[in-house]
Amino acid sequence: HSALTQPHSVSGSPGQSVTISCTGTSSDVGGYNYVSWYQQHPGKAPKVMIYDVTKRPSGVPDRFSGSKSGNTASLTISGLQAEDGADYYCCSYAGSFPLVFGGGTKLTVL
Amino acid sequence: EVQLVQSGGEVKKPGESLKISCKGSGYDFTKYWIGWVRQMPGKGLEWMGIIYPGDYDTRYSPSFQGQVTISADKSIITAYLQWSSLKASDTAMYYCARRVSSAWYFDSWGQGTLVTVSS
Report the residue from B103, B107, B110 with minimal CB separation from A34.
B103
Q: How far apart are CA B60 and CA A56, in angstroms?
A: 28
Q: How far apart are CA B107 and CA B27, in angstroms?
A: 13
| One-letter amino acid for residue A16 of the chain | Q
What's the average model confidence in pLDDT over B36-53?
96
For the cut 90, the answer to whether the pLDDT of residue A87 exceeds it is yes
DSSP state string for B36-63: EEEE-TT--EEEEEEEETTTTEEEE-TT
Contact between B104 and A48 using a beta-carbon 8 Å cutoff = no
Contact between A51 and B105 using a beta-carbon 8 Å cutoff = yes
Given this model, what pLDDT does residue A103 score? Answer: 96
What is the least distance, in Å, from the CA of B114 to any CA of chain A?
11
- If you measure CA to CA, which chain A residue comes closest to B4? A45
Q: Residue B55 in contact with residue B47, Cβ under 8 Å?
A: no
**Angle made by CA atoms A35, B91, B69, in degrees to the nearest 5:** 65
Q: How far apart are CA B94 and CA B80, in angstroms?
A: 11
- Show Cβ contacts of residue B33 under 8 Å, excluding neighbours closer than 6 positions: B50, B51, B52, B98, B99
Which percentage of chain A shows pLDDT scores above 70? 99
> Is B112's Cβ below 8 Å from some Cβ in A?
yes
A18-51: pLDDT as tens digits: 999 999 999 999 999 999 999 999 999 999 999 9
